[in-house]
Structure 1
Amino acid sequence: MTEARAIAERVLACPGVAGLSGGPFGTVATYLPGERLTGVAVRNHGVDIAIVARFGDPLPAIADEIRLLVGDLADGRPVNVTIDDLDI
């Protein structure tokens, strides 16, 4: 399993996350052989994650939980979480 896929699975397991998003211009993605994994971009300078959050949950808490869940997979890089939309 790739690092990006493992991060995506952990993010999707977070109760406050309804799904992954490509970000406003679709740039939050990792290209894997034969597919584009939208919502997680693993880069040298950090890990970018864009999500659709569930309405009603406190948004800063969701972002903090995601950082905690994927911190060990980020290999010391900062984890940037963008809440791109809300699922009502």
Structure 2
Amino acid sequence: FNQNAKDEGRRIALMSSKGSNSLYQTDFMASDILLFGSESAGVPDHVHSASDLRIRIPMQPGFRSLNVAVSAGIALSEALRQTGQLPLEIMP
């Protein structure tokens, strides 16, 4: 998977509570692959180190993590907004 992504010139953006980059300080590209680990264990160290971006969603002090579905929605929304793929308004 990782090699195929690299061959296609795509970045793997790992969403992790241990990420070094804030979601809102990350510049997404339309070709990025968003990767999420399991809620209980995250991802193995080798997956963490092989990722091109390690991104965290900023939270209030004292909060440990978010539900993976909530995290996915937040991250996908921000990536789509930045890359111009999020509709600005919903038509009835």
TM-score range, shorter chain: 0.3 to 0.5
Larger Cα-atom Rg:
2
Which one has the bigger strand percentage? 1
Which one has the bigger helix percentage? 2
**More relative contact order in 1 or in 2 (CA 8 Å, sep 6+)?**
2
The alignment's TM-score, normalised by the length of structure 1, stands at 0.32
